[in-house]
Structure 1
Amino acid sequence: MGEPYLIGEAMTGGYGKGADILHACTIAVERGEIAVIVGPNGAGKSTAMKAVFGMLDLRSGHVRLDGRDITKLSPQDRVAQGMGFVPQTHNIFGSMTVEENLEMGAFIRRDDFRGTLAQVYDLFPILKDKRHQAAGELSGGQRQQVAVGRALMTQPKVLMLDEPTAGVSPIVMDELFDRIIEVARSGISILMVEQNARQALEIADKGYVLVQGANAFTGTGKDLLENPDVRRSFLGG
């Protein structure tokens, strides 16, 4: 077995000159795989994802994409290398239309992106219906679709999602997860931080449980769901 397509290996670091939040944390995802990071509040889940995306300095450890060391690259350069990132909040331009938001996602493209736009509309039909509406007027679930769609406009090889179902109803959460599965089936790797741990692990090929910035449990989604220690400590029994 070769190295995973994307790996943040033994990452230790924090924000600025503050204390370390991550402690030798390792997160990896294969091509076309869904990897989910779960754990209690304050466990360092979002920090681990931001470290993989280059949003904080690592004191030790490495990030590699398709065998290339990208540890020193800026987030912007990582986007150019094929990484898309959707933050939990402030992830759309509210005063711009849905279509303008999606077009903003193609800012690094020099080719004709209309084919990708059509693919996003196929994935999220409601966005096509509302393409001329201000994104800020949409429901929470629809705004998340805009944010994911905009990230897909860069044609990423890896799509990173920070709490994509935060604040949405269970029905909308299920719909978003279905779309995320579709994206993974197209060959794009998904790395996702998710508070709804049980539901996320049900769709995960691989899961990471973090506690205090370190790996506590790692396994397939199915294995973690069946692990009595994980169930008792993180899934409510």
Structure 2
Amino acid sequence: MSDPFLIGEAMTGGYGAADILHDCTLSVEKGEIAVIVGPNGAGKSTAMKAVFGMLPLRKGEVRLGGKAITSLSPQERVRAGMGFVPQTANVFTSMTVRENLEMGAFIRQDDFSDTMDLVFDLFPILKEKATQPAGELSGGQRQQVAVGRALMTKPSVLMLDEPTAGVSPIVMDELFDKILEVAATGIAILMVEQNAKQALNIADKGFVLVQGRNRFTNTGEALLADPEVRRSFLGG
């Protein structure tokens, strides 16, 4: 069988001597949304960082499009087609919305105006506020800037770490709608999300991590319907 488009396979690693991930595997196909959920301290964001190259692995491998990228730096992974949106400090607050998006295109040598137009079509509020400093925007609007900036690199994979952290339920629903729209363009989406029920509702695939290990892996629908998953991780 061929590889998934992106896979972090049997990843073991951590910070210093202590391993946080233990034989953890995550994967996602193009146009698919894969969600990583689990209790606090389960290693969700750590697993995401491992896939992006921000955490050294003692064992395991990361492959993108069938090619091993385990030895690549995060910067090299961006050039290979990975976009990463961290949970915090993910916009340049003193720069305008448009300048933030332009920063996202820093690796590109071509004309990126078409991509800018696509981002403005996806997030109309950003076009409206293009000349406003990003620091003046609401939390949900800042998240749109952060996602838009990652999309400016024309990634084949978009990785989101807690994209709805700290936003209202209405804004969360809006962001999830936008994530569905991004996936519909053929981009693979791998995200960590604290709002597990809502995230699994839009997920093609879900990974439940506990203490850095895979506990359950299935479709979002199947995980939502699993009594043990519901009882232990989704509040019943």
TM-score (norm 2): 0.99
Report the CA distance between 1:18 and its aligned residue. Answer: 3.4
Whichever residue aligns with residue 225 of structure 1, its letter is L
CA distance in 2, matches of 1:164, 1:200: 10
2:220 is aligned to: 221
| Residue aligning to 2:162 | 163
Q: Secondary structure at the match of 1:13?
A: strand
Question: Partner residue of 2:112?
Answer: 113
Aligned equivalents of 1:236, 1:63: Cα separation in 2 = 33
Q: Give the Å deviation of 1:56.
A: 0.7
SS in structure 2 at match of 1:20:
strand
Q: Which residue of 2 aligns with 1:66?
A: 65
Please report the RMSD computed on the Cα atoms of aligned residues, expressed in angstroms.
0.5
Structure-2 separation of matches of 1:236 and 1:194: 15
Query: Match of 2:183, as an amino acid?
Result: A
1:17-56 deviation per Cα after TM superposition (whole angstroms, max 9, x unaligned): 2300000000000111000000000000000000000001
Equivalence for 1:4 = 4
What corresponds to 1:40 in structure 2? 39
d(CA) in 1 for partners of 2:235, 2:196: 10
Runs of 4+ in 1 over 2 A off after TM superposition: none
Q: Name 1:133's counterpart in structure 2.
A: 132
Aligned residues: 236
Query: Letter of the aligned partner of 1:3 in structure 2?
Result: D
Query: C-alpha separation between the residues in 1 aligned to 2:147 and 2:30?
Result: 18
- Matched letter for residue 188 of structure 2: S
Distance 1:66 1:225 in 2: 29
**Matches of 1:36 and 1:176, distance apart in 2:** 14
Partner SS, residue 37 of structure 1: strand
> C-alpha distance in 2, partners of 1:18/1:201?
33
Match of 1:145 in 2: 144
Match of 1:203 in 2: 202
Q: CA deviation digits over 1:133-190, x for unaligned, max 9?
A: 0000000000000000000000000000000000000000000000000000000000
- Kindly provide the amino acid, as one letter, of the partner of residue 231 in structure 2: R
Deviation at 1:2, TM superposition (A): 1.7
Other structure's SS at 1:229 match: helix
Aligned amino acid, residue 176 of structure 1: L
In structure 1, the residue matched to 2:81 is 82
How far did 1:116 drift? 0.1
For 1:27 and 1:47, locate their aligned partners in 2 and report how far apart those are by CA, in whole Å. 12
Give the secondary-structure state (helix, strand or coil) at the position aligned to 2:10: strand
Q: Work out the percentage of aligned pairs sharing the same amino acid.
A: 78
Q: What does residue range 181-200 of structure 1 map to in structure 2 within 5 Å? A: 181-200=180-199
The residue type equivalent to 1:167 in the other structure is G
- Which residue is equivalent to 1:235? 234
Structure 2 counterpart SS, 1:201: helix
Counterpart in 1 of 2:53? 54
Q: Please state whether the residue corresponding to 1:21 is helix, strand or coil.
A: strand
**Equivalent residues in 2 for 1:17-28, closer than 5 Å:** 17-28=16-27
Q: Aligned AA for 2:187?
A: I
Which amino acid in structure 1 is aligned with residue 78 of structure 2? V
